[in-house]
Amino acid sequence: MNPPNGQTPLDYLNQIAPQAPKKQGFGLNLKTVIIGAAGLLVLIILISVIAMLVGNSPKTDWERLSLRLATTETIAEDSDKIIKNSQLRSMNSEIKLYITDTTRDLTARLEAKNIDPTKASTTLVTTEANAAMLDRLESGRLNAKYDSTYAREMTYQLGTILALYQKLNSSTNSTADKEFLANAYENLAPIQERLADFSASSE
C-alpha cells in the first residue's frame, strides 16, 4: 500500500501504527478519596469505642469510687474549720465517719480484686480531684456563703457516689460486692437526703 500524497513512508507508518495506551497517573480520584476517608472514619470510631469501654470498665469504676471517697473526705476535713451552722457541721461529721468506715470496707473489696487505686490513670486521678468543686467552695468562702455552697456541692457529690454504687452493683455478680454496695448505699442515702433538704432551705 502506497502512502497518501504528501506523506513520507515514515510519517505514514507512524500514523497507522497502533497507539500505546496512555498510562494512568498516580493521582487520586474522587472514589479513592471517599473510600479512604470512610475507612479512616470507621477506624476512629472503633478506637473511640474501645477506649470508652476500657475507660468505663468495672476496674476503673472501683478505682473511681476509691478516689471519689478520698476527695470527699478531704473536703469534709477542710470544711470542719469553715462551716458555721451547727446542724451542717454535724452532718459533715457524719460524712467523715461514714467515709472512714466505708473506705475500710472498700479496701477489703479492692484487695480481693487486686485493684490498687494508687495506680489509677493520671486522667482519672485528675478528674476525681474535682478542682472545679474546690474552686466553687473557695468562691463561696470568699463571698461569705460557704455553708450554702458546701451544702449544695456536697449534696451533688454524695449523689454521684450513690450513683456509682448503683452502677457497680449492676456490673458485678459477686455476693460480697453486692452486700458491700447495698450497705454503703443504705448508710449514705439518708445523709445525702438530709443534706439536700438543708441545701433547699438555705437557698
Mean pLDDT of 112-131: 95
Residue-wise DSSP of 23-76:
PPPSPPPHHHHHHHHHHHHHHHHHHHHHHHHHHTSHHHHHHHHHHHHHHHHHHH
Q: Does residue 29 sit within a domain?
A: no
Q: Which domain holds residue 177?
A: 57-202
Q: Residue 65 — pLDDT band, cuts 50, 70, 90?
A: very high
pTM for the full predicted model? 0.72
Going by pLDDT thresholds of 50, 70 and 90, the confidence category of residue 48 is very low
Q: Considering the chain, what percentage of its residues have pLDDT values greater than 90?
A: 70
> Does residue 116 belong to any structural domain of this protein?
yes
The answer to the question of residue 123 being in a domain is yes
For residue 179, the domain's CATH number is 1.20.1260.10
Q: What is the DSSP letter of 83?
A: -
Query: Looking at the 3D structure of the chain, how many domains does it have?
Result: 1
